[in-house]
């Protein structure tokens, strides 16, 4: 059997929209059909951020601290911080995340020292607050941040995601569009979407070795 020896299959925004409309039993047309589909696509990608962590949207960041500065902007594309360590003299120490109330109740936020705790203010422009306030300008914080998936700005844009999410992407867009153009298919397409997302998300999880330690009874 002849094989293609090709492993670079990809889809762009227009491909996803066309496939989604076909699943709705609708022929895609230029103009409003494309605009409303692209809007639904971007809303769905925003909804994915609320479904939990996808490894392809996690990136590591290193920031050098400034003495006396306790707060640092994270970028508008930051959804959340997953974990953080502070590095001093090539040694990393895990930092503890605290909530808004805990940070508010710290009596002296300007005390200088080696930061051990952090609070993430998840606003439009997210900011991380450290405590204690850095005592030097050589320490670094290293953290994993969850970032937004790129918007579908152009119909020729490719999707910045692993190929295993393509079926989920198309199934989700078909479901979103069905609520507008094919209400009789909503339940069916929602079921397909949920199944595809569950499969993709399960393959996107972080894998770690399982280590079993025997318990010795005396």
Residue 12 near residue 156, CB atoms below 8 Å: yes
Give the span between the Cα atoms of 207 and 218, in whole angstroms.
34
pLDDT in tens, 22-77: 999 998 877 888 889 999 998 998 888 788 756 668 889 999 999 999 999 998 88
One domain, residues 127 and 185: no
Whether 184 has a pLDDT exceeding 90, the answer reads yes
Q: Is residue 140 a part of any domain in this protein?
A: yes
Give the span between the Cα atoms of 183 and 179, in whole angstroms.
5
Q: Is residue 98 a part of any domain in this protein?
A: yes
- Which residue range forms the structural domain that includes residue 32? 13-53+150-203
Quote the pLDDT of residue 156.
59
Q: Is residue 1 a part of any domain in this protein?
A: no
Give the span between the Cα atoms of 162 and 95, in whole angstroms.
31
Give the span between the Cα atoms of 113 and 124, in whole angstroms.
29
Question: Phi and psi (nearest 5°) for 55?
Answer: -60, -25
For residues 155-160, average pLDDT = 64
The SS3 assignment for 123 reads coil
Beta strand 71-73 with 127-131: parallel, antiparallel or unpaired? antiparallel
For residues 184-196, average pLDDT = 96
What is the distance in angstroms between the CA of the first residue and the CA of the last residue of the chain? 62
For residues 171-190, average pLDDT = 96
The SS3 assignment for 35 reads helix
Q: Can you say whether the dihedral through the CA atoms of 165, 166, 171, 177 is positive or negative? A: positive
Question: What confidence category does residue 205 fall into, taking pLDDT thresholds of 50, 70 and 90?
Answer: low
One domain, residues 120 and 36: no
Burial class (CB in 10 A: 0-12, 13-18, 19+), 74: buried
pLDDT in tens, 100-134: 999 999 999 999 999 999 999 998 899 999 999 99
Q: Is residue 209 a part of any domain in this protein?
A: no
Beta strands per DSSP E along the chain: 58-64, 71-73, 78-88, 91-94, 96-97, 112-113, 117-121, 127-131, 133-134, 140-147
Number of domains the chain is built from: 2
Whether residue 132 has a cis bond before it, omega within 30° of 0? yes
Quote the pLDDT of residue 210.
45
For residues 165-187, average pLDDT = 95
Q: Quick one: which of 36, 85, 37 has its CA closest to 61?
A: 85
One domain, residues 47 and 72: no
Quote the pLDDT of residue 151.
60
Q: Is residue 73 a part of any domain in this protein?
A: yes
């Amino acid at each position: 059997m002849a094989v293609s020896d090709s492993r670079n299959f990809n889809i762009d925004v227009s491909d996803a929209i066309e496939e989604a409309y076909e699943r709705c039993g609708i022929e895609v047309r230029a103009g409003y059909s494309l605009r409303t589909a692209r809007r639904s696509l971007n809303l769905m990608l925003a909804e994915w951020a609320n479904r939990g962590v996808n490894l392809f949207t996690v990136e590591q960041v290193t920031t050098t601290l400034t003495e006396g500065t306790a707060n640092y902007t994270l970028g508008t594309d930051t959804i959340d911080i997953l974990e953080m360590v502070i590095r001093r003299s090539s040694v990393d120490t895990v930092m503890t995340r605290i909530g808004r109330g805990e940070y508010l109740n710290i009596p002296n936020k300007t005390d200088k020292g080696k930061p051990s705790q952090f609070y993430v203010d998840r606003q439009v422009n997210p900011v991380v607050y450290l405590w204690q306030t850095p005592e030097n300008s050589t320490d670094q914080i290293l953290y994993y941040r969850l970032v937004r998936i790129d918007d579908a700005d152009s119909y020729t844009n490719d999707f910045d995601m692993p190929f295993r999410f393509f079926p989920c992407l198309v199934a989700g867009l078909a479901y979103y569009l069905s609520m507008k153009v094919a209400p009789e298919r909503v339940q069916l397409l929602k079921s397909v979407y949920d199944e595809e997302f569950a499969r993709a998300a399960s393959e996107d999880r972080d894998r770690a070795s399982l280590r079993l330690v025997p318990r010795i009874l005396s």
